[in-house]
Amino acid sequence: MRPDVVANTLLAVEEDWRKQAADFTEGSASAAKDAAAAFTKSCGSVVAAVVHGSGGDRRVAKEYMDRVCTQKVLTGWRQSRCTAFATAISDHGMNADNYANRENVNPAKVCTGFFSIFVEAEKSREVEEAKERAEEEKKKLEEEKKAAAIAAEAKKKADAEAKVEAERLAKEEARREQEEKEQQAKAEAAEAKARAAEAALRLAEKRAEAEKMQKEAQKKLEEAAAAEKEHKDRLAEHQKAEELVKSATKSAPATKPAAEPATATKPAPKSAVVPPAAPVAPKPAAAEAPVAKKVAEPAPKVAAAKDKAAKVVEAPKKADAVAKTSVAK
């Protein structure tokens, strides 16, 4: 028989034996009896196969079982049970007589003794496994506690880092908002400064224009004053001329018609009557109309000059008002 095939068979059989040992130990009397019978039957089949396969040679049987028990599929408690089973076969079931082994070996006797060993081993194994489970549970609890402490510490550290990060972000946000406000304020100040400069320029232009218009108005006023003075002078001359004319008219002698020559022959016809001579006007009267015309001529010019001068004087005030409104905006 191939050792690897027997090892795989024994792997499944040992699981059954384990359950049977548990039923024998923890079950009822009937269950214990059935478990022992089932174990003896299964175990006896394996014992008979090993004895017959080795030809009754105890040494061959021992070597064969050693190869079976060292297969990779049998590890831990399974390998221990296999080794104990091999010892039960070679040391307790067989002797030095090959023939006697082939003919007289008693598998039931071997399996009954091995079942006791198997049950005790299972009890020990259960105790050991319980102890191992307790140790594992304790270790697991300690690890969980340690993991919880590490997690708590990590959470605490993460919370602290998150708080620091949140504060940093808040400060960064506040700084960014402050910078934006400062930049906006600078932009608004620059814009206001530009507007003020533009308004100041416009105001300067308006003032310059106003000063120019004021100078022009002053010039017009001066021209108007000069025209008014000239008008007054001409009016005075006109009055003086009128007085001279009146004086000349009053002092001039009255003219008489010429005497008719005496004639002795016949009187002249009625149609040939000579009209009386026109009175001679004094020469100063002829110059009266031109003088009046010259004196009257400056009056419209003077009025127009005054009106234009008044408008020019008002213009700087309006310009200042417009300029101040521009600066205020």
Q: How many domains does the chain have?
A: 1
Determine contact, residues 80/93, Cβ cutoff 8 Å: no
Tell me if 89 is assigned to some domain: yes
Instruction: Please report the pLDDT score of residue 105 as a whole number.
Output: 81
DSSP 8-state code for residue 72? T
- Its domain, for residue 37, covers 3-105
- 278 membership: H or E segment, kind and range: none
The model's pTM: 0.40
Contacts of 31 (CB under 8 A, 6+ apart): 23, 24
**Segments in the chain forming alpha helices (H):** 3-26, 29-53, 58-69, 77-87, 98-104, 107-251, 283-286, 288-296, 298-328
Tell me if 245 is assigned to some domain: no
- Structure tokens, 220: 């017009």
37: left (phi over 0), alpha (psi -120 to 50) or beta: alpha
Residues in the chain: 329
- Rounded CA separation 22/120 (Å): 10
- Rounded CA separation 109/113 (Å): 6
Tell me if 41 is assigned to some domain: yes
Tell me if 38 is assigned to some domain: yes
Tell me if 9 is assigned to some domain: yes
Note down pLDDT in tens along the chain; length 329 residues: 688 888 888 888 888 888 888 888 887 888 888 888 888 888 888 888 888 888 888 889 889 888 888 888 888 888 888 888 888 888 878 888 888 888 888 888 888 888 888 888 888 877 777 888 888 888 889 999 889 999 999 999 999 999 999 999 999 999 989 999 998 888 888 888 888 888 888 878 888 887 888 888 888 888 888 888 888 888 888 888 888 888 888 876 555 554 444 444 444 444 444 444 545 444 544 444 454 454 455 556 556 666 766 665 566 566 567 556 655 65
Determine contact, residues 102/55, Cβ cutoff 8 Å: yes
Tell me if 134 is assigned to some domain: no
Instruction: Please report the pLDDT score of residue 208 as a whole number.
Output: 85
Tell me the HSE value of 59 on the side-chain side, using a 13 A CA sphere: 2
**Segments in 252-297 forming alpha helices (H):** 283-286, 288-296
CB count within 10 Å of CB 177 equals 10
Tell me if 21 is assigned to some domain: yes
Contacts of 35 (CB under 8 A, 6+ apart): 20, 21, 23, 24, 27
Q: At what angle do helices 29-53 and 107-251 cross, to 10 degrees?
A: 110
Tell me if 307 is assigned to some domain: no
56: left (phi over 0), alpha (psi -120 to 50) or beta: left
